[in-house]
Structure 1
């Protein structure tokens, strides 16, 4: 006896609705995306024109001077290297455990911004809270 095999329906997935949904999502994200335009600003940094206050000089002040070439001087002692680790070691050696001392940054007008930010970063990592940047009075 010969039996006929039942024909199986071929199983397939219709991808057309899936592709439609993907294209709709793509169009939605393209329409709702905002594009930012980067622009370079030319700025001129201000000078201090206020009156100077004659505060009593504290002996325990940490004064970091940033030179025009990025060299550092901590309380009058020039550092051998211009990196953050050397600066951090010099400040720790000078300050010890006292983190409540005033930390004054004096930078040359031609010093790189990164050099000043490095000094501020070292002061923040070491926990100094009294950070100030010195300026010169403008010649009016």
Structure 2
């Protein structure tokens, strides 16, 4: 009697639909993610009667000072609060920008005044004469 040899069936896994789902999820998360750098640091800005428009400035250097007096240059924290460290951090960022950028200082309303004066002094040493202080607009009293 002659027996047939049984060949095992090859098992193929079709990954096409799984790859499609992964790409759709990737697109979904990319579209729904918001990148708001203002929410990264909690800074309570002081109020002023008029809020200047600093959002439209393209070539700008942002310096944030939180309530503990820590400095952040363009969103990156400076290692310590020493003036020379801040000078070096701002110099590195200025070397990447073209021309003379505008400086926007965003200091917490409860920050020590000395931290703001130090930042303005460093800006003067770097030749940054065009700078503004970020504030929130005061509510009108009725």
Which runs of 4 or more aligned residues in structure 1 lie more than 6 Å from their structure 2 counterparts after TM superposition?
none
Q: CA deviation at 1:99?
A: 5.9
- Structure 2 segments unaligned to the other structure (5+ residues): 1-45
Q: CA deviation at 1:84?
A: 0.7
**Pairwise mapping of residues 48-127 of structure 1 onto structure 2 (< 5 A)?**
48-50=48-50, 52-53=52-53, 56-58=56-58, 60-96=59-95, 100-127=100-127
3-state SS, counterpart of residue 65 of structure 1:
strand
TM-score (norm 2): 0.59
Paired residue total:
94
Highest RCO, 1 vs 2 (Cα 8 Å, sep ≥ 6) = 2
- Structure 1 segments unaligned to the other structure (5+ residues): 1-45
Say if 1:61 and 1:131 are closer, same or farther in 2 by CA, change over 3 A.
same
Higher Rg of the two aligned structures: 1
TM-score (norm 1): 0.60
Cα distance in 1 for partners of 2:73, 2:90 equals 7
